[in-house]
Amino acid sequence: MGSSSWENWQLKAKEHLMEPFYILTINLLNLLLPLSFLLLARISCAQYLLTVISYPAEPLLSSSILFSLFLNTNPALLYILVSTVSIATLIHSLTGKLTILSESPGKSYQPRLYTAWILLCTLQVCVGLGIEGSIAAGVDGASFGIEKSLISRVIFFLGLHETMLLWFRTAVKPVVDDACFGVGVSMREERWVDRVAIAMSLGGLWWWRLRDEVESLVVVPEARKEMLMSVGVADFVGWWLYYLTVTTGMVRVVKASLWLAMIFLCTRVRMNNAGDSCEDDNDDDDKV
C-alpha cells in the first residue's frame, strides 16, 4: 500500500515538473510557422533589394554566405511546406473535416507520427538557417514604410492564429507528446492552457516583429508591378500566401458572426415563447 502511494506521488511530481517544459516546448515549436512567414517576407525583401538597389544592399547580402546559400536552395521547400499547411487550414476552416495527421490511436498512427517528425524537423532547419542568415545579412522587411489597414492586419492575425492551431494539432502536439510522454497509442488531450500559450506566443511575436515585416509579402510584388518589373514565382507565392491567410481569417470572422447571430436569434425566440406562454396563462386566469 505504501509502495503504491509512493509511486503515485512520484508520477504526479514528474508530471508537474514536466508541465512547464511541455508548454515551453510547444510554444517554441509552434512559433516555427509564424517565423516561416517572417522569413519568407525577408526573402522577398532581400530579392527585391538585390534586383533594384545596387548599394548598400548587394554588398551586405553577398557578405552573408549562409543567407546567399539559403536564397538559392531552401526557399522552394519552405514555400511548399507553408503553402501545404495554409491550404489545409483553409479547407479545414470551410469544411471542418480535413485532418492531415489524424490523432486516432492504433497502428495507423505511427506513419502519421513519422510524417509529423519529418515536417517539424524540416521546417526547423529551414527557419533556423534562414533567420540566422537574414540577421547576419541585416535584412529587415519593415523598410518599405507601407502599412496595411488595421482591419486587414487583424484579419491576417486571426488567419495566422487559425493556421498555427492546425499546425499545433497535426504536427507539434503529436511530436511533443511522443517525446515527452512516449504516447504511441493514446494522445494527450488538448487543454485550454495550450491554446492560451499559443495565442500569447503569437501575439508577442506579432507585436515584436511580424506585424511590420510580414506585409513585405504583398508590398514587394506591388512595388515590382509599379516599376514595370517582372513578378517572380517566389513573389507571387508570397503574395498568394498572405491573402490565403487573410481568407482563412475572414472565414473565421464569418463563422463567429454567424454563431453570435444564432445565439441572439435563439435568445429572442425563447424570450418570445416565454412571453407568449405568460400571455396564455393570463388569458386562462381571466376566463376563470
Digit-by-digit pLDDT tens for the chain (288 residues) are 445 565 566 556 566 677 788 888 899 999 999 999 998 988 888 878 777 765 444 454 555 565 666 666 667 888 999 999 999 999 998 887 655 544 444 444 577 888 888 999 999 988 888 887 777 777 776 656 566 778 888 999 999 999 999 999 889 988 888 887 765 544 567 788 888 888 999 999 998 888 888 988 988 888 888 887 878 788 889 999 999 999 999 999 999 899 888 888 888 878 777 655 555 555 555 545
Q: Identify whether 13 is part of a domain.
A: no
In a domain? residue 215 = yes
**How many other C-beta atoms are found inside a 10 Å radius of the C-beta of residue 50?**
16
Residue at 21 is within a domain = no
Residue 23 lies in a domain: no
Q: How many domains does the chain have?
A: 1
Residue 11 contacts residue 106 (beta carbons within 8 Å): no
Of 117, 109, 116, the residue nearest 166 (C-alpha): 116
Q: What is the pTM of this model?
A: 0.83
Per-residue confidence (pLDDT) for residue 35, from 0 to 100? 93
- What domain range is 210 assigned to? 28-287
Q: What is the largest CA-CA distance in the chain?
A: 97
Is 18 within the bounds of a domain?
no
CA separation for the pair 231, 229 (Å, rounded):
6
Tell me how far apart the alpha carbons of residues 40 and 37 are, in angstroms, rounded to a whole number: 5
Per residue in 27-83, pLDDT (tens digit) is 999 999 999 999 898 888 887 877 776 544 445 455 556 566 666 666 788 899 999
Residue 201 maps to a domain:
yes
The residue behind cell 519529418 is: 118
Identify which of 242, 243, 234, 236 has the alpha carbon closest to the alpha carbon of residue 50: 234
145 domain-assigned: yes
Domain contains 253: yes
Predicted pLDDT at 252? 92
